[in-house]
């Protein structure tokens, strides 16, 4: 798990040019090609992406709203705000990046804050955790009911999005045959395989026995 910065699968795309000039309005209708190759995760802020431009310049820490897909002209892609494309801020400084084979290349749709569905295709997933016990954990990445991941999607409207599991419905032709919106509950349980009601036998046996712990003898 990386601290602050992590590699991602490179995305050849375009950037809205005003993001390269501190949101100067005179560049609002223009765009440039770029390659997104990394992500910066700052706790409590939106995901931030690191890019290279065709002139060799690197530009750091741009939000997902800065980018749209390479095959589109800017006039054909709606400008969407960061909070329309990404629902939650980063949950810690330690991001994990993974492309799940099961999800790779499949289509899905996410329910936006405007109550509309936005269709797109899976690219990869960013998740968060706390790195080690000697660092004070003041984040929410490992609290069951607070944890969220961010699936990065390329949308049919040309934009990109970063959405959690509970906003996306995926489509697998041979498997996802049900059509209703799920009514599942948020998980609040801390799952633990080790309990207080059993012990291993006190011996040097490789294949030791497991015994019930007799609380009355203590």
Give residue 145's pLDDT: 76
In a domain, 56, yes or no: yes
71 in a domain, yes or no?
yes
In a domain? residue 183:
no
Residue 60: inside a domain = yes
- pTM over 0.85? The answer is yes
Question: What residue numbers bound the domain in which 106 lies?
Answer: 5-172
In-domain check, residue 215: no
* pLDDT tens-digit map of 101-156: 999 999 999 999 999 999 999 999 999 998 888 888 877 877 777 889 999 999 99
Q: What pLDDT does 114 receive?
A: 96
Beta strand spans in the chain (E): 5-16, 31-40, 48-52, 58-62, 67-69, 95-98, 107-111, 117-128, 150-155, 160-163, 168-171, 198-200, 210-212
Asked whether residue 195 carries a pLDDT value surpassing 80, the answer given is: no
Least confident piece of the model among 20-29, 44-53, 112-121, 173-182: 173-182
Specify the pLDDT at position 215.
Answer: 55
- Bridging pattern class, strands 168-171 and 117-128: unpaired
Q: Is residue 207 part of a domain?
A: no
Helix (H, G, I), strand (E, B) or coil at 51: strand
Domain count, the chain: 1
Indicate whether 187 belongs to any domain: no
183-188: which pairs have CB atoms within 8 A and are 24 or more residues apart?
186/144, 186/145, 187/144, 187/145, 188/144, 188/145
Closest CA to 147 of 108, 90, 99, 63: 90
Tokens of 184: 């599942």
d(CA 65, CA 86): 9
Residue 208 located in a structural domain: no
68 - beta bridge partners? 14, 159
For residue 10, pLDDT over 60 is answered with yes
């Amino acid at each position: 798990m990386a601290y602050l910065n992590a590699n991602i699968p490179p995305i050849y795309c375009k950037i809205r040019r005003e993001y390269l000039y501190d949101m100067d309005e005179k560049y609002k209708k223009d765009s440039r090609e770029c390659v997104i190759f990394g992500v910066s995760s700052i706790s409590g802020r939106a995901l931030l992406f690191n890019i290279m431009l065709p002139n060799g310049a690197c530009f750091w820490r741009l939000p997902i709203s800065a980018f749209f897909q390479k095959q589109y002209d800017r006039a054909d892609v709606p400008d969407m705000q960061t909070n329309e494309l990404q629902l939650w801020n980063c949950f810690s400084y330690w991001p994990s990046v993974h492309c799940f084979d099961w999800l790779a290349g499949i289509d899905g749709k996410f329910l936006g804050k405007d109550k509309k569905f936005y269709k797109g295709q899976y690219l990869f997933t960013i998740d968060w955790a706390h790195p080690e016990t000697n660092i004070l954990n003041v984040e929410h990445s490992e609290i069951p009911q607070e944890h969220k991941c961010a699936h990065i999607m390329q949308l049919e409207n040309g934009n990109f999005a970063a959405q959690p599991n509970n906003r996306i419905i995926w489509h697998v032709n041979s498997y996802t045959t049900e059509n209703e919106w799920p009514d599942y509950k948020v998980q609040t349980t801390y799952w633990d395989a080790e309990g207080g009601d059993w012990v291993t036998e006190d011996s040097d046996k490789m294949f030791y026995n497991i015994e019930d712990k007799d609380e009355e003898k203590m």
